[in-house]
Amino acid sequence: MIGSGHLVSGRYRLDKPIGSGGMATVWRARDEVTGQDVALKRMHARVQDDPDLIERFRREAEVVARLSHPAVVRLFDEGADEDGPYIVFELVEGTNLKALIRSRGALSPELAASITSQVARGLEVAHRSGVVHRDIKSHNVLVADDGTAKLTDFGIARLLDGDQGGLTRTGTVLGTSDYLAPEQARGLRVDGRTDVYSLGIVVYECLTGQLPFPADTPMGVAQRQVRDPMPDPRDVQPGIPPHLASVVLRACEKDPAARFGSALEMSDALLDVPVDATGVMPVIAATESDDVTGALAVTPESVVPLDDGDTQSRPVVPPAAPPSTPAVEPAAHVAEDEPPRHPDAEVFVAQSSGRRRVWPGAVAALLIVALAGVGAFIVWRGSGSDAGNVVTQAASSASQPTAPPTDVMGAMGPLQLASVKDVDPGGEGREMSGEVPLAYDGNEETAWRTERYVTADFGGVDKAGVGLEFTLQQPSVATRMNLITKGTGGTFEVLAGPPATDARVVGEGTFGNGRQSVDLTPGAASGIYTLWITSLPPNILGSGYRAYVAEASFDGTVPQG
Q: How far apart are the first and last CA of the chain?
A: 82
| Cα angle 427-428-433, degrees, rounded to a multiple of 5 | 110
Give domain 377-557's CATH architecture. Sandwich (2.60)
**Degrees to nearest 5, angle at CA 557 with 498 and 516:** 70
> Known catalytic residues?
135
Amino acid at 150: K
Phi-psi region at 517: left, alpha or beta (left = phi > 0; alpha = psi -120 to 50): beta
CA 536 vs. chain centroid, Å, equals: 17
Calpha distance 173→158 (Å, rounded): 12
Answer for the pair 254, 114: CB distance below 8 angstroms, yes or no: no
Distances (CA, A) of 15 to 25, 61, 74: 12, 22, 20
- Other CB atoms within a 10 A radius of the CB of residue 375 amount to 11
Looking at the DSSP bridge assignments, the partners of residue 545 are 453, 538
CATH number of the domain located at residue range(s) 7-90 in this protein:
3.30.200.20
- Report pLDDT for 65: 84
CATH 3.30.200.20 in the chain is located at 7-90
- Start and end residues for every CATH 1.10.510.10 domain found in the chain: 93-352
pLDDT at 24 (0 to 100): 86
The pLDDT tens digits along the chain (561 residues) read: 577 788 898 899 999 988 777 788 889 999 999 999 999 999 888 888 888 888 888 888 888 888 888 889 888 998 988 888 999 999 988 899 999 999 999 999 999 999 999 999 999 989 988 899 999 999 999 999 888 999 988 877 766 544 444 344 334 456 689 999 999 999 898 999 999 999 999 999 999 999 999 999 999 999 999 999 999 999 999 999 888 998 999 999 999 999 999 998 999 889 753 333 332 222 222 222 222 222 222 222 333 333 323 322 222 222 333 333 333 232 322 233 333 333 333 333 333 333 222 222 322 222 222 222 222 222 222 223 333 333 333 223 333 333 333 333 467 899 999 999 999 988 777 787 778 888 998 888 888 989 878 889 987 777 889 999 999 999 999 999 999 999 999 999 999 999 987 889 999 999 999 999 999 999 999 999 999 999 999 988 777 889 999 999 999 999 986
Bridge partners, 26 (sequence order): 19, 41
> Distance between CA 340 and CA 326 in Å, rounded?
29
CATH 2.60.120.260 positions along the chain are 377-557
Residues 48 and 58 sit within 8 Å (Cβ to Cβ): no
User: Superfamily for 93-352?
Assistant: Transferase(Phosphotransferase) domain 1 (1.10.510.10)
Put simply, whether the predicted model's pTM sits higher than 0.75 gets the answer no
